[in-house]
Amino acid sequence: MNIDWFFILEKIVLISGVLVISLVVAMYSTWGERKVASIIQDRIGPNRAGFMGLLQPLADGGKLFFKEEIIPGNSNRFLFILGPSLAMIVACMTSAVIPWGDTLTIAGHTVSLQIADINIGILYIFGVVSLGVYGIMLGGWASNNKYSLLASVRAASQIISYELAMGLSLIALLMMTGSLSIKEIVEQQRHGGWNVLYQPLGFLIFLVCSFAECNRTPFDLSEAESELNGGYHLEYSSMKLGFYLFAEYINMFISSALMSSLYFGGYSFPYMDSLGLAPNLVTILGTAALFIKIICFLFFFMWVRWTIPRFRYDQLMRLGWNIMIPLALANMLITGAIVLYRSTH
């Protein structure tokens, strides 16, 4: 049997790299969140720990690790610990199918900067993201606290309703591209134009739904920290609470990466094939372009959070079921009609 050691090594390096990068980006998103909040509110923000407060995430993490760990007496201990672990695992798993760049050529080997180019990439992401609801439900259920349970039911129903509209808006995109592989969608945008130009309504629906999926303001009813004293993670303390909060930032990072890949050309940038640079250099520039897009999206997430007030729960549900889903269906129908017309003429 011939084992391709280079392949295994390549994948291990890639997996650890992506994991580390998504953790670091999530860490510094907390810093960015606080800085953006302070700038929008005419403050300075964290500036004590290190230059411009850059060590603040480390201090926060260290604090969470050393906090007292409280597990409620009547809770189900196994499920109580499983909840935040599941939220964290699921948040980290989604990064597997996102193409972080084109191919690099190292010592004659072609290395694709994507952990797994599976042909059902988008389905995989939807499957894994839906698992994230279990983290929330388990956390709320295992706390043995009726307010946690109510909050987790609220969060779960919100995520499930917005997942529908999100899926429908993606179907329109899939009808255009004809592929479920994210890599192929990005490659099509590299040669054609960015999908956001052909699917503006679909992108808008996807954007709003991803705010709801990430439990971000204006849809952060599962937490509503300013009025509810915590939601499903009410009984959590120490790093288990940290995992829940951290998973939210990783989810934000992943959905930014997903939106950049699906609608904004992923790792491709304008004129990337006509620059006449070495292919490896173009790949690295492409990865940098992807990260710039991701950072723009992250800033957008934070910008919206400090601008728009929270929806009331009935308004949230009405927006989801009465507006987003019909709009997504209409978008799907129009796209379908145009695709059909194009293919017959």
Partner 1 sequence: MQALTSRARQVDRRPMTFIEKIYLWNIIKGMIITFKHIWKRKETVRYPEQKRPFSPVFRGLHILNRDAEGRENCTACGLCAVACPAEAITMEAAERKPGEEHLYREEKYAARYEINMLRCIFCGFCEEACPKDAIYLTETFAPANYKREGFIYGKQDLLIPAPGEKKKA
The binding site for partner 1 (CB under 8 A) comprises 39-44, 47, 303-304, 306-308
Nearest to 61 by CA among 234, 245, 223: 245
Cα-flanking dihedrals φ and ψ of residue 103, to 5°?
Answer: -95, 145
- Burial (Cβ within 10 Å: 0-12, 13-18, ≥19) of residue 159: buried
Nearer to partner 1, 52 or 339 (CB): 52
Nearer to partner 1, 142 or 208 (CB): 208
Helix (H) or strand (E) holding 331: helix 325-344
Nearer to partner 1, 88 or 324 (CB): 324
Nearer to partner 1, 116 or 201 (CB): 201
Q: Which residue has the tokens 């090594």?
A: 9
Residue 137's alpha-carbon distances to 133, 152, 214, in angstroms, are: 6, 5, 15
Q: At what angle do helices 121-142 and 238-263 cross, to 10 degrees?
A: 160
CA distance 63 to 52: 19
Smallest distance from the beta carbon of 216 to partner 1, in angstroms?
A: 14
Nearer to partner 1, 43 or 77 (CB): 43
Nearer to partner 1, 288 or 308 (CB): 308
Buried b (16+ CB within 10 A) or exposed e, 166-194: bbbbbbbbbebbebbbbbbbbbbbbeeeb
CA distance 258 to 185: 11
